[in-house]
Amino acid sequence: MTELTHLTIAEARDGLKAKTFSATELAQAHIAAVEKAKALNAYVLETPEKALAMAKASDEKIAKGEARPMEGIPLGIKDLFCTEGVTSTAASKILGNFKPPYESTVTQNLWNDGAVMLGKLNMDEFAMGSSNETSAFGPVVSPWRREGSNVSAGASGQIEGTHLVPGGSSGGSAAAVAAHLCLGATATDTGGSIRQPAAFTGTVGIKPTYGRVSRWGTVAFASSLDQAGPITRTVRDAAIMLRSMSGPDAKDTTCVDLPVPDYEAAVTRGVKGLKIGIPKEYRVDGMSPEIEQLWHQGVEWLRAAGAEIVEVSLPHTKYALPAYYIVAPAEASSNLARYDGVRYGLRENGKDIVELYEKSRAAGFGREVKRRIMIGTYVLSAGYYDAYYVRAQKIRTLIKQDFEKVYADGVHAILTPATPTAAFGIGEKGSGDPVEMYLNDIFTVTVNMAGLPGIAVPAGLDAQGLPLGLQLIGRAFDEETLFAAGQVIEDAAGRIKLPQPWWA
Amino acid sequence: MSVDEKTVRRIAHLARIAVTDQEVPHLQGELNAILSFVEQLNEVNVDGVEPMTSVTPMTMKKRQDGVTDGGYPEKIVQNAPATEDNFFLVPKVVE
């Protein structure tokens, strides 16, 4: 029998139902794997007692024949989701001791469907980053290594050598799924934070349409862009998990009142007769030839499966990233105003209330977060609002119209690379110029700006043996087509062989 | 556009983040790198374009204007660094 930690969610669900193993055994196998993988720094908090209690409850449900859609499935939860009574930090010092007295809608939906929580996952602070290097808990080590690299598990429990980043901001989620430390993980995506780490780690990640998933109880970064989604090892697993995470929520007015389709049923639909667009503006300078080759391969796979391929134009693509770096920091500066050292979180005393605020926030926020709050404050300040913020929101309208025109011409989905390069090493990017790091999101950020769904699917390895991903962008609320086309790519590429546990 | 040291200090104060003298030049460089990156947006003709206010066309959900939750002040203040009798404590604001 396959190791329990190497099952897919679909296989585990079927095995539990057939009583081949119990939810308790499945949880125990994962707790042991997590225990041996501390050096990866993927989990910031492990909750084994909670996992075993939830697994026991699942075993009782299964015994009574009342198994729910995610019954007994052990998951990792990104530390951006508030979990009742369990420390939730957003990987920031400012929330270091925060124990929410409530549960986020996404996690509550998963528990209502029977899922089991293994712990909280590392991430970039407040989800601001593309490499997991901005976390107050330190970076996550990618389970992937370049061929012939010197990275190894050191004697002291510390990783030796220059390791790779897992991407970000959902770096802990992607690393945990790729290293078999959970069957699936929750993640969030504001500019690419699900799809870029999925591409870097050979996993599947979907950012659903804005409004598909409730944002209630998820620590806010940029409210008009943030959406939660799953990271899993297969397209089918992403479909199973997204269905449980989604749905209307009275507590979030931007969460739509639309029924959630049976995404798993869409996985086997195929792409026969679908029109897939290839946007010429995504052929950017400096894109690696391997990514170009992979993209071409993806086109051929979809064509062979019966899709019609058409070239399309999204003329405002190059302006999405600069517009994002106005809109997202502006919203962040407003959202993060709540961390004042008064109602919750870290406090540094001062001689008056203003000094208390200034010292608390200086001590609690990391460098990247401070930088973004300050940019946001500047672009919203008197005299600059129209020149920066209003202009960026107008450009956002143009970006959305680009997509609307393409879809009005009958295109069902758009195929692009997920990232311009494979994973890079820790400390390699953004130390001098923050924009160098931001360019990671060049292919993913347009999707958030337009509120559309996007999925990253592993499609091959580069010459160094590192995974590369393709992205499919869909019409609003048509995640089903993404699962159908994603499965075609997964079938054609073959499941990526994930790394052996060299860290254990 | 670019910011000088004085503007960096002003933004930091507006954002209520204390900055040290050593931090200011670094922040200035980083903020200017971002501002120069977003400069390219000026190439785009945005005449007659409506700024985006809602990314998905939808009408705001409404409900009866009534109290549906609450009555647990101790939960509200449980994470606060300093409280007394279910009130948040701050330094004296009004003399």
When the pLDDT of each residue in chain A is averaged and rounded to a whole number, the result is 96
Verify whether residue A381 is a known catalytic residue: no
The domain locations on chain B are 5-42
Widest distance between CA atoms in chain B: 57
ipTM value of the model? Answer: 0.96
Range list of H helices, A150-270: 171-178, 195-201, 235-245, 263-266
pTM: 0.97
Q: Is A386 on the interface with B (CB under 8 A)?
A: no
Which of B24, B52, B61 best probes binding to A when mutated, by most A CB atoms within 10 angstroms? B52
Strand A308-312's sheet: what is its strand order?
Answer: A43-46, A116-121, A74-78, A184-189, A227-232, A204-207, A454-461, A467-474, A413-417, A275-279, A308-312
The answer to whether the CB atoms of B16 and A358 lie below 8 A apart is yes
pLDDT at A475: 98
CATH architecture, range A4-144+156-281+295-314+405-493: Alpha-Beta Complex (3.90)
At A302, give phi and psi (nearest 5°).
Answer: -70, -40
Q: Is B72 exposed, middle or buried (0-12, 13-18, 19+ CB in 10 A)?
A: exposed
pLDDT at A150: 84
B53 to chain A: nearest residue by CA? A393
Q: What is the percent of chain A where pLDDT is above 70?
A: 100
DSSP string of A440-463, one letter each residue: GGTTTHHHHHTT--EEEEEEEE-T
Does residue A152 register a pLDDT over 90?
no
Task: Choose the catalytic residue: A169, A170, A214, A246.
Answer: A169
Does residue A238 register a pLDDT over 90?
yes
Residue pair A278/A312 in contact by the 8 Å Cβ criterion: yes
Please write the tens of the pLDDT for every residue from A159-207.
Answer: 888 899 999 999 999 999 999 999 999 999 999 999 999 999 999 999 9
Picking from A271, A313, A277, A266, the residue whose alpha carbon sits closest to that of residue A413 is: A277
Rounded average pLDDT over A390-399: 98
User: Of A147-161, A187-201, A207-221, A356-370, which range is least confident?
Assistant: A147-161
**In chain B, which residues have their Cβ closer than 8 Å to the Cβ of A86?**
none
Residue pair A120/A45 in contact by the 8 Å Cβ criterion: yes
Does residue A467 register a pLDDT over 70?
yes
Please write the tens of the pLDDT for every residue from A444-457.
Answer: 999 999 999 999 99
Give A13's pLDDT tier (boundaries 50, 70, 90). Answer: very high
Does residue A1 register a pLDDT over 70?
no
Q: Which amino acid is at A265?
A: A
Verify whether residue A78 is a known catalytic residue: yes
Strand runs labelled E in A255-374: 275-279, 308-312
Strand runs labelled E in A52-140: 74-78, 116-121
The answer to whether the CB atoms of A361 and B14 lie below 8 A apart is no
pLDDT at A154: 78
Give A156's pLDDT tier (boundaries 50, 70, 90). Answer: confident
Please write the tens of the pLDDT for every residue from A50-97.
Answer: 999 999 999 999 999 999 999 999 999 999 999 999 999 999 999 999
The domain locations on chain A are 4-144+156-281+295-314+405-493
Q: Is B15 on the interface with A (CB under 8 A)?
A: yes
